[in-house]
Amino acid sequence: MQVALDETSMIELIDQVMKKRGYVPEEQIVGRTINVQEFAKKYCKPHGQAWVKRNILYVFKPDWVSNIHPGRGGKMTIFEYPAAIWMNEHRKEIDWDAK
């Protein structure tokens, strides 16, 4: 049996399968910034933002975070794409059981 699909239909079908399997298109996070709370929720669950600061940001001082010590009223900015890559490459170096 042979099925004929036009390119648009094929792309839509592939996108549905990728979404169902949890894949995130690279362009969705390239150039995107997030805060520490969102980073903790997305990449360090069930740990919170205080844990992320104490056990990742202040320990490793990664270059994908801007304004790592913002002071009172300031905020950190995390560049999501390089952060996601870094987390994947360094996940075994992080003490996930730390308090």
Given a cut of 90, whether residue 72 has pLDDT beyond it is no
Block residue for tokens 């992320």: 52
In a domain, 95, yes or no: no
Q: How confident is the model at residue 42 (pLDDT cuts 50, 70, 90)?
A: very high
* Number of domains forming the structure of the chain: 1
In a domain, 33, yes or no: yes
Please give the residue that has the higher pLDDT: either 21 or 61: 61
Looking at residue 11, its pLDDT comes to: 86
In a domain, 79, yes or no: yes
> CA 36 to CA 57: how far, in whole Å?
10
Please give the residue range of the domain that contains residue 33. Answer: 24-90
In a domain, 52, yes or no: yes
In a domain, 47, yes or no: yes
Number of neighbouring beta carbons within 10 Å of residue 5: 10
Give one word for 41, left, alpha or beta, with left for phi > 0 and alpha for psi -120 to 50. alpha
Average pLDDT, the chain: 89
In a domain, 13, yes or no: no
In a domain, 56, yes or no: yes
Given a cut of 90, whether residue 18 has pLDDT beyond it is no
In a domain, 5, yes or no: no
As given in the structure block, the two tokens for residue 9 are 């239909």
As given in the structure block, the two tokens for residue 68 are 């790592």
Report the predicted TM-score, pTM, of the whole model to 2 decimal places.
0.69
Q: How confident is the model at residue 24 (pLDDT cuts 50, 70, 90)?
A: low
Backbone angles phi, psi at 47, to 5 degrees: -75, 150
User: What percentage of residues in the chain have a pLDDT greater than 70?
Assistant: 95
